[in-house]
Amino acid sequence: MTITPDSRVLFIGDSITDCGRDRDNDRDLGRGYPLLIAGQFTADHPNDGVEFLNRGNSGNRVPDLLARWEDDCLKLEPDVVSIMIGINDTWRRFDKNDPTSTADYERDYREILRRTQESLAAQLVLIEPYLIPVRADQHEWRADLDPRIGVVRRLAAEFGALLVAADGAMASAAAASGPEIWCADGVHATPAGHTLLAREWLATVA
């Protein structure tokens, strides 16, 4: 099992991870998949003393994550670091004409992982960014997002990280029942979508 007794698990990323967490409470996990994972794991292993932390920030792109990595990851000394980042790097290209190139995304993401391995003996967990289009224009986003998913998969192999294949899981679920059940706007998970993410994470990590 990747999560050992008395370890600290950190979830970090953008709004999907953030999911309304209380900034005035460092222990608050928000209302999304980090809360569901912590609840399920603790119910299954109530005496293990595992601590779960959420440092998701709504709107973050990979440069934002890199800028706060020291304070929001390394100083916390987690034993497991779970990262989901990338959809805003794609989204801002289409709504703000403010793209992040795939090369820059890979450079900054690699630097995050390099710093982590230099500073911590932590297990890395990379969650793919995902998109399940609910509007016709969102199909265009795949051309920008798919290379980023490829980057995450390559980096997982390069750094020995566990890979949570969120994009495939979401796509499969959407194909069976329609996308809005899982992500009302194509990006932000519904309660069912967060439950699916939590299940995929636990199946991969715990």
What radius of gyration do the chain's Cα atoms show? 16
Contact 93/144 with Cβ under 8 angstroms?
yes
Is 24 an annotated catalytic residue? no
Give dist(CA 61, CA 115) in Å, integer. Answer: 17
The verdict on whether 82 is a catalytic residue reads no
Q: In the beta sheet, which residues pair with residue 53?
A: 10
Measured between alpha carbons, how far is 99 from 15 in angstroms, rounded to an integer? 18
Sheet holding 8-13, edge to edge: 51-56, 8-13, 80-84, 123-127, 162-164
Cβ atoms of 174 and 131 within 8 Å: the answer is no
| Cα atoms in the 13 Å half-sphere on the side-chain side of 74 | 16
Pick the closest to residue 54 from 30, 74, 88, 24 (CA basis): 30
Count other Cβ atoms within 10 Å, centred on residue 26: 11
Catalytic residue among 15, 18, 89, 194: 15
- 104 carries an active-site annotation: no
User: Which residue in the list 26, 44, 71, 185 is annotated as catalytic?
Assistant: 185
* Cβ neighbours for 68, distance < 8 A, ≥ 6 positions apart: 57
List active site positions.
15, 185, 188
